């Protein structure tokens, strides 16, 4: 019984660390591998500032994307590698943000305004 509690606590701590990035920093979670997890992420998007999708121009999802998000003041609020094709993000404060995503040596940047409605961003790359 105690072993199950310790395992449960370890899993809960790992999940909290994976999602929370600290005060003044964005919080994120990556995933979306498999249909069930994709549906779960898309359903949870309404509770987050952003849902970011990573794919190739052929429509296939991609993973291991480097992401950097900066606020209106130019300060980096998130710098992470997303191991899945979907990323749920909460940023500190509202207003304009820049999202830069890099995959396979190619970077793209998009502007987004965080406010009352969750933002949805998609990044696509040509994959040879």
Q: What is the pLDDT of residue 100?
A: 98
What values do phi and psi take at 106, rounded to 5? Answer: -115, 130
The greatest distance separating any two alpha carbons of the chain, rounded to the nearest whole angstrom, comes to: 51
Domain that holds residue 80: 23-125
Q: What is the pLDDT of residue 17?
A: 38
| Number of domains the chain contains | 1
**Cα angle, residue 123 at apex, residues 120 and 128 outer, rounded to 5°:** 155
DSSP symbols for 34-102: SHHHHHHHHHHGGGSSEEEEEEETTS-B---EEEEEEETTS-EEEEEEE-SSEEEEE-SSSEEEEEEEE
Domain membership of residue 1 (yes or no) is: no
Domain membership of residue 66 (yes or no) is: yes
Q: What is the pLDDT of residue 25?
A: 83
Q: What is the pLDDT of residue 127?
A: 85
> b or e along 94-114 (b: 16 or more beta carbons within 10 Å of the residue's beta carbon)?
eeebebbbbbeeeeeeeebeb
CATH number at residue 27: 2.60.40.1120
Please list the ranges in the chain whose pLDDT falls under 70: 1-24
Domain membership of residue 18 (yes or no) is: no
Q: What is the pLDDT of residue 31?
A: 95
Domain membership of residue 15 (yes or no) is: no
Query: In a 3-state reduction of DSSP, which class is residue 5?
Result: helix
Domain membership of residue 11 (yes or no) is: no
Domain membership of residue 51 (yes or no) is: yes
Tokens of 108: 């793209």
């Amino acid at each position: 019984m105690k072993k199950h509690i310790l395992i449960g606590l370890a899993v809960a701590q790992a999940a909290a660390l994976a999602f929370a990035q600290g005060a003044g920093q964005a919080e994120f979670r990556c995933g979306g591998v498999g249909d069930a997890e994709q549906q779960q992420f898309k359903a949870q998007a309404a509770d987050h500032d952003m849902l970011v999708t990573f794919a190739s121009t052929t429509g296939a999802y991609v993973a291991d994307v480097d992401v950097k998000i900066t606020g209106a003041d130019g300060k980096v609020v998130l710098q992470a590698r997303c191991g899945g094709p979907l990323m749920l993000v909460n940023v500190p404060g509202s207003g304009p943000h820049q999202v830069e995503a890099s995959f396979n040596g190619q970077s793209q940047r998009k502007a987004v305004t965080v406010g009352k409605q969750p933002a949805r961003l998609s990044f696509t790359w040509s994959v040879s």
